[in-house]
Chains A and B, each alone.
Chain A
Amino acid sequence: MQKYFEIKNLIINYKTFEGTKEILNIDYLGIDKAETFGLVGESGSGKTVLALTLLKLLAVPPGEIASGEIWLDGENLLIKSESEMQKIRGNKISMIFQDPMSTLNPVFTVGYQMTQVIIKNQKLNKKDAEKKAIEMIGIVKLPDPERIMDKYPHELSGGQRQRIIIAIALSCGAEFLIADEPTRNLDVTIQAGILKLIHELQKEFGITVLFIANNLGLVSAICDRMGILREGKIIEQGTVDEVLRNPKTDYTKLLLKTVTPARKKDKQVTSTTSEVLLEVKELQKYFPVKSISKATKNLNVKAVDGVSFTLNKGEILGVVGESGCGKSTLVNTLLLLHKPTQGKVFFDGQDIFALNKHDLRKARKNVQIVFQDPFWSLNPRWLVKDIIGEPLKVHEKLTADEYLAAVKKLMTMVGLPPEGAFKYPHEFSGGQRQRIAIARALSVRPKMVVLDEPTSAIDVMSQAQVLEMLEELKKNLQLTYIMISHDLSVVNYMSDKIIVMYLGKIVEYGESDIVFNNPKHPYTKALFNAIPGLHTRNVSELAIIKGEVPSAINPPKGCRFHPRCNYCMEICKTKEPEAVTFEGRLVECHLYGEGN
Chain B
Amino acid sequence: MFKNMISMNTLAPKIKEAKLSFYLLNKNILTRAALITVLLLILVAIFALYIAPFPEHIFLGNDPANSLNPPSWKNLCGTDELGRDIFSRILYGTSISLRAAVTAVFFAVTIGSFLGAVAGSVGGWLDELIMRVTDIFLSFPPLLLSISIVALMGPSLNNATLAIVVSWWPWYTRLMRGQAISVKEKQFVKAAEAIGTSRMKIIFKHIVPNCISPIIIQASMDMGAVILSLAGLSFLGLGAQPPTPEWGLMVSTSKNYFMNAPWYSLFPGIAIFITVLSFNLLGDGMREILDPKTRKN
> What is A's interface to B at a CB cutoff of 8 Å?
16-17, 61-62, 335-337, 360-362, 364-365, 367-369, 371-373, 376-381, 383, 387, 390-391, 394-395, 400, 419, 422-424, 426-427, 437, 440, 444
Q: Is the CB of A394 within 8 A of B24?
A: no
Q: Is the CB of A390 within 8 A of B195?
A: yes
As a 0/1 sequence over residues 1 to 29 of chain B, the CB contacts with chain A under 8 angstroms (1 = contact) are 01001100110110000011001100000
Chain A residue contacts of B13, Cβ below 8 A: 423-424, 426-427
Provide 13 A-B residue pairs closer than 8 Å at the C-beta atoms, listed in order of the A residue: A62-B297, A337-B193, A362-B196, A369-B191, A377-B188, A377-B190, A377-B191, A381-B209, A394-B196, A395-B195, A400-B2, A419-B9, A440-B191
Q: Is the CB of A377 within 8 A of B187?
A: yes
Please pick, from A368, A372, A378, A400, the residue contacting B194 in the complex, using a CB distance under 8 A.
A368
> Are A364 and B196 also in contact (CB < 8 A) when A17-B24, A422-B5 are?
yes
Chain B residue contacts of A335, Cβ below 8 A: 194
B148: Cβ under 8 A from any A Cβ: no
CA distance A437 to B198 in the complex (A): 19
Chain A residue contacts of B193, Cβ below 8 A: 337
Chain A residue contacts of B23, Cβ below 8 A: 17
In the complex, which of the residues A362, A373, A378, A422 has the most CB atoms of chain B within 10 Å of its own CB atom?
A422
Q: Is the CB of B187 within 8 A of A381?
A: no
Closest 8 CB pairs of A and B: A422-B9, A364-B196, A377-B187, A371-B187, A361-B196, A379-B188, A391-B195, A17-B23
CA distance A377 to B194 in the complex (A): 12
CA distance A419 to B12 in the complex (A): 13
Chain B residue contacts of A380, Cβ below 8 A: 210
Chain A residue contacts of B194, Cβ below 8 A: 335-337, 364, 367-369
CA distance A211 to B187 in the complex (A): 33
Q: Is the CB of A381 within 8 A of B196?
A: no
Q: Is the CB of B10 within 8 A of A383?
A: yes
Q: Is the CB of A368 within 8 A of B195?
A: yes
Chain B residue contacts of A377, Cβ below 8 A: 186-188, 190-191
Given contacts A337-B194, A394-B198, 14 further A-B contacts (CB under 8 A): A17-B23, A62-B297, A335-B194, A360-B196, A367-B194, A368-B195, A369-B191, A390-B195, A395-B195, A419-B9, A422-B6, A422-B10, A423-B10, A424-B10
> Are A390 and B190 also in contact (CB < 8 A) when A62-B297, A383-B10 are?
no
Q: Count of A-B contacts with CB under 8 A? A: 79
Q: Is the CB of A376 within 8 A of B187?
A: yes
In the complex, which of the residues A335, A336, A390, A391 has the most CB atoms of chain B within 10 Å of its own CB atom?
A390
B206: Cβ under 8 A from any A Cβ: yes
Output the least CB separation between A498 and chain B (Å): 24
Chain B residue contacts of A400, Cβ below 8 A: 2
Residue of A nearest to B189 (CB): A379
Chain B residue contacts of A437, Cβ below 8 A: 191
Chain A residue contacts of B6, Cβ below 8 A: 422
B192: Cβ under 8 A from any A Cβ: yes
Chain A residue contacts of B197, Cβ below 8 A: 390, 394
Chain B residue contacts of A364, Cβ below 8 A: 194-196
Q: Is the CB of A371 within 8 A of B190?
A: yes
Please pick, from A360, A368, A373, A391, the residue contacting B187 in the complex, using a CB distance under 8 A.
A373
> What is B's interface to A at a CB cutoff of 8 Å?
2, 5-6, 9-10, 12-13, 19-20, 23-24, 186-188, 190-198, 206, 209-210, 297
Chain B residue contacts of A337, Cβ below 8 A: 190, 193-194
Residue of A nearest to B21 (CB): A17
Chain A residue contacts of B10, Cβ below 8 A: 383, 422-424
Output the least CB separation between B186 and chain A (Å): 5
Output the least CB separation between B23 and chain A (Å): 4
Residue of B nearest to A393 (CB): B197
Q: Is the CB of A371 within 8 A of B191?
A: yes
Q: Is the CB of A379 within 8 A of B210?
A: yes
CA distance A394 to B210 in the complex (A): 21
Chain B residue contacts of A427, Cβ below 8 A: 12-13
Residue of B nearest to A374 (CB): B187
CA distance A45 to B192 in the complex (A): 33
Chain B residue contacts of A387, Cβ below 8 A: 188
Residue of A nearest to B19 (CB): A17
Chain B residue contacts of A361, Cβ below 8 A: 196
Q: Is the CB of B210 within 8 A of A381?
A: yes
CA distance A383 to B209 in the complex (A): 13
CA distance A186 to B2 in the complex (A): 50
> Are A423 and B9 also in contact (CB < 8 A) when A17-B24, A376-B188 are?
yes
Output the least CB separation between A434 and chain B (Å): 12
Chain B residue contacts of A360, Cβ below 8 A: 196
In the complex, which of the residues B12, B24, B187, B210 has the most CB atoms of chain A within 10 Å of its own CB atom?
B187
Q: Is the CB of A17 within 8 A of B20?
A: yes
Chain B residue contacts of A383, Cβ below 8 A: 10
Chain B residue contacts of A381, Cβ below 8 A: 209-210
CA distance A391 to B188 in the complex (A): 12
Output the least CB separation between B209 and chain A (Å): 5
Output the least CB separation between B295 and chain A (Å): 9
Chain A residue contacts of B186, Cβ below 8 A: 376-377
CA distance A540 to B69 in the complex (A): 94
In the complex, which of the residues A371, A372, A426 has the most CB atoms of chain B within 10 Å of its own CB atom?
A371
In the complex, which of the residues B2, B187, B195 has the most CB atoms of chain A within 10 Å of its own CB atom?
B195
CA distance A520 to B55 in the complex (A): 94
Residue of B nearest to A391 (CB): B195
Residue of B nearest to A386 (CB): B205
Q: Is the CB of A379 within 8 A of B190?
A: no
CA distance A422 to B2 in the complex (A): 11
CA distance A517 to B206 in the complex (A): 45
Chain A residue contacts of B188, Cβ below 8 A: 376-379, 387
Residue of A nearest to B20 (CB): A17
Chain A residue contacts of B2, Cβ below 8 A: 400
CA distance A371 to B9 in the complex (A): 27
Output the least CB separation between A219 and chain B (Å): 30
Chain A residue contacts of B12, Cβ below 8 A: 423, 427
Residue of B nearest to A364 (CB): B196
Chain B residue contacts of A378, Cβ below 8 A: 188
Residue of B nearest to A383 (CB): B10
> Are A379 and B206 also in contact (CB < 8 A) when A373-B187, A422-B5 are?
yes
Q: Is the CB of B195 within 8 A of A394?
A: yes
In the complex, which of the residues A336, A368, A369 has the most CB atoms of chain B within 10 Å of its own CB atom?
A369
Chain B residue contacts of A394, Cβ below 8 A: 195-198
Chain A residue contacts of B196, Cβ below 8 A: 360-362, 364-365, 391, 394-395
Chain A residue contacts of B20, Cβ below 8 A: 17
Chain B residue contacts of A16, Cβ below 8 A: 297
Residue of A nearest to B297 (CB): A62
CA distance A426 to B190 in the complex (A): 19
Residue of B nearest to A400 (CB): B2
CA distance A369 to B188 in the complex (A): 11
CA distance A408 to B209 in the complex (A): 25
Chain B residue contacts of A424, Cβ below 8 A: 10, 13
Residue of A nearest to B7 (CB): A422
Chain A residue contacts of B5, Cβ below 8 A: 422
Chain B residue contacts of A365, Cβ below 8 A: 196
Residue of A nearest to B27 (CB): A17
Residue of B nearest to A17 (CB): B23
Output the least CB separation between A546 and chain B (Å): 34
CA distance A336 to B194 in the complex (A): 7
Output the least CB separation between B122 and chain A (Å): 15
CA distance A123 to B289 in the complex (A): 45
Chain B residue contacts of A440, Cβ below 8 A: 191, 195
CA distance A422 to B188 in the complex (A): 18
CA distance A371 to B187 in the complex (A): 7
Residue of B nearest to A424 (CB): B13
CA distance A419 to B5 in the complex (A): 10
CA distance A520 to B132 in the complex (A): 55
Output the least CB separation between B13 and chain A (Å): 5
